[in-house]
Chains A and B, each alone.
Chain A
Amino acid sequence: MSTELPRLAPRIDPDTAAFWEGTTRGVLLLERCPDCQTVIWYPRGGFCPACGKFSAVTFEAAGTGTVYSFTVVHRGLGEYAGVTPFVIAYVELDEGPRVMTNIVDVDPSEVHVGMPVRAVFHDTGEGSALYRFAPAQRTGA
């Protein structure tokens, strides 16, 4: 099983304050533009890059998705130097966006493209929690 990964705290600014507050409650908050219905990633504090309006509102994502691509890192840098091997991935959320993250709670050799995953949250202790993803068992899949 993988080692506990570092819990680096993000810089919180007006673009991202609502998003990170959500993570402390175990919720992945996405933004959706009411004008063009686009789900936005990464969070831009209401700004929609699809239509240029400033009226996007947040909603709770399901927190589930599938692995779009992944890499097993064998040479880590900084705080990650001592936790190899670990997995960095793009997860395609059920709502559409493909987000960079770690895959945890699984042997790196078992991670594969298309793997169903669900969000888990690792509190940084600084008003935020890192969203990572663990294998999900899906009924009827």
Chain B
Amino acid sequence: MTIKRKAFIAGIYEHPRREIPDRSVAQIHAEVAIGALADAGLTLSDVDGYFTDGSTGFGAMSMTDYLGLRCTHSDSTETGGSSYLFHVGHAAEAIAAGRCNVALITLAGKPRTGGGGGPGRAYAPENAFEGLFGMSGAVTGYALAAQRHMYEYGTTSEQLAEVKVAASLHAQHNPHAMLNKPVTVEEVLASPMISSPLHRFDCCVVTDGGGAVVVVSPEVARDLPRANVTVLGQGEAIKHSDNGRIDLTYTGGVVSGPRAFEEAGVTHSDIDYVSIYDSFTITVVETLEDLGFCEKGQGGRFVMDGTLVSPGGKLPFNTDGGGLCNNHPSNRGGITKIIEAVRQLRGEAHPAVQVPDCEIALAHGTGGSLATRMGSSTLIMAREAA
């Protein structure tokens, strides 16, 4: 079975705020759910499939209750920030199998002002062997990966900085972006070192917020005004520590990418726009290599000279400003990667960064700790009516 053209993205919504002290996490789930359904021309009562991560109580079970949904299918796949790109693939599978027709995917969290949940790490089996040595959240694992990538391939801090520069050039056009001032390579290198070799500007923003996506069957899509983006293919992988034989230089994208391209039946030159998960600058460099946009080890060179800048760059990316500048709600950048790709395919990105005649887009999610215990999901979508 393939999911190719079996499901359409009918609605998207990104919460406009980046600090939300006056709302609960569950309320933010509800706000973004209603927002995405309104964009689709649907309501909560139309939803028969629900997908969310495992960070809010019992995941889909708790949130189905809160939202008052009546679903024939649900899924709380938890792969950190990549969860929502897994969810789109799983929603398309469920729709193709006839288990639901209107699938709602939501993300919400409040790491900036507090009060958010989060999956229980304390009882994860690996915790005793990784949690006692002072890991400062996610940045430590990504810094370790960056250091090894530099050692093996000669990647430089200046090259990593190019990723942030491109994101900041896009973010200046996004009025909702947390950081909307363009920065230079020199400014990235001058920002405080957080965990070597990563500087503050190599790290994504910390924001409250959320987002939602509505995925529907072709039959439902035909009656909806905005359901003009179809799912061509999706691939996913959980890459783990491999019994201690950790290799920090590649991600699960080496598996998820080829699977998505094969299912979609497209090649790299067909891709007009990419949303690449950008929790840190190194995340983008390793991912671009693993998805095959350049050779392994060449990611640093690839991102130089404005490759990622829209318009005009060879591979325009993250035109909303990405997690590095715009939004990384709940410390999870997956849903905004889908949302900006759909905006591009609809022709509704900001005019200053809209890719002309954007027909095929790729969105890639990365969750967990880069290259060690992580989720990777690659989603390829096309502008196409049902």
Contact = CB atoms under 8 A, between A and B. Distances in A.
Decide whether A and B assemble into one complex: yes
Interface of A: 5-6, 8-12, 15-16, 38-44, 49-50, 68-77, 79-80, 83, 86, 88-90, 96-102, 113, 130, 132
Given A38-B243, A69-B145, A74-B193, A113 B137 contact: no
A71 B147 contact: yes
A97 B243 contact: yes
Contacts of A132: 133
Nearest to B197: A71
A43 to B, nearest CB: 8
A39 B195 CA distance: 31
B148 A69 contact: yes
B194 A75 contact: yes
A11 B128 contact: yes
Interface string B121-139: 0110111111111111101
A101 B131 CA distance: 10
A77 B244 contact: no
B114 interface: no
Contacts of A100: 129-130, 133, 135
Given A69-B145, A74-B193, 17 more contacts: A6-B134, A9-B132, A42-B129, A70-B144, A71-B143, A71-B144, A72-B195, A73-B195, A75-B194, A77-B136, A80-B134, A83-B134, A96-B245, A97-B245, A99-B244, A100-B135, A130-B132
Nearest to B137: A77
Contacts of A102: 133-134
Contact of B195 (A41, A71, A98): A71
A106 to B, nearest CB: 15
B58 interface: no
Interface of B: 122-123, 125-137, 139-140, 143-145, 147-148, 151, 192-198, 241, 243-246, 248
B244 A97 contact: yes
B151 A11 contact: no
A29 to B, nearest CB: 13
B148 A88 contact: no
Contacts of B128: 10-12, 16, 42
Nearest to B147: A69
B80 to A, nearest CB: 18
A76 B197 CA distance: 15
A101 B244 CA distance: 13
A40 B248 CA distance: 18
Contacts of A71: 140, 143-144, 147, 195-198
Nearest to A39: B244
Nearest to B126: A42
Given A11-B128, A75-B194, A113-B147, A88 B140 contact: yes
A102 B140 CA distance: 12
